[in-house]
Amino acid sequence: MLGMQKAFMEVDNNKLQPAEMDGLKVVSFGFFAEQAHQAAIYRGPIISGILKQFLVDTNWSNLDYLIVDLPPGTGDIPLTLAQTIPITGILVVTTPQDVASNVATKAIGMFNKLNVPIIGVIENMSYFICPKCSDKHYIFGEGGAKRISEQFSIPFLGEIPLNSGIMEGSDKGKPIILSHPTSPSAEAIRVSAKNVAAQCSILAAKLKEEMQGTAAQ
């Protein structure tokens, strides 16, 4: 999606050097696959080990945000993550279908048990802006993510439309936010990102207070 198919990670002073695009540093399991189309299949404990390396043994330097893109649902990876580093919060990304909502609901339940805060929920593929009538068509149903946000009292942070431009841009390694920055889809992504950043600031301040509180005891 970032045009990094040929990217590979270099090692410098025993630290992984992340690939970089437009100020975004990236490490990925995908870089380990010999060819871009070859899926990386590893067992849970090995993935957990690699994840720890990505977190600890990578030359990240100073970051504004560290985002870990997790597989859907519950499993070893979120558990390892929660046990390895303090997490500001979990951002739940779902689609309107009931099946996706069920997966998201289970994940929220797991992170609640682990005492990891939930940043909020974003709905992807929310609607399709029809080129013929310019109306929003809710192809996969309406309000799935909003229902989750109400059920768990977590913020609803945005909806990303279904748009062939996003898909084409991702295939070409040119994110729509860079290639068509004024398009409605790019605007929807920007609004969602701002909402996420605002919630992260609130949660980070809380986390800092808690850590200082613990240190003072």
Total residues interacting with Zn ion, rule: CB under 5 A:
3
- Minimum CB distance to Zn ion smaller for 23 or for 131: 131
Angstrom distance (rounded) from CA 176 to CA 174: 6
**Residue 155 per-residue DSSP state:** -
Q: Which stretch, 6-14, 101-109, 130-138, 169-177, contacts Zn ion (CB under 5 A)?
A: 130-138
Give the number of other Cβ atoms within 10 Å of residue 100's Cβ.
20
User: In whole angstroms, how close is the CB of 135 to Zn ion at the nearest point?
Assistant: 5
Angstrom distance (rounded) from CA 4 to CA 70: 19
User: In whole angstroms, how close is the CB of 127 to Zn ion at the nearest point?
Assistant: 11
Chain position whose Cβ is nearest to Zn ion: 130
- Residue 63 interacts with Zn ion (CB under 5 A)? no
Helix (H/G/I), strand (E/B), else coil: 136: strand
User: In whole angstroms, how close is the CB of 179 to Zn ion at the nearest point?
Assistant: 25
User: Residue 55 has which token pair?
Assistant: 């977190």
- Figure out which of the listed residues 63, 133, 215, 216 binds Zn ion, where binding follows CB under 5 A: 133
Angstrom distance (rounded) from CA 217 to CA 214: 5
Give backbone dihedrals phi and psi of 197, rounded to 5 degrees, phi first: -60, -40
- Minimum CB distance to Zn ion smaller for 130 or for 205: 130
- Figure out which of the listed residues 56, 99, 130, 178 binds Zn ion, where binding follows CB under 5 A: 130
User: Residue 20 has which token pair?
Assistant: 């970089």
Note the residues at the interface with Zn ion (CB under 5 A): 130, 132-133
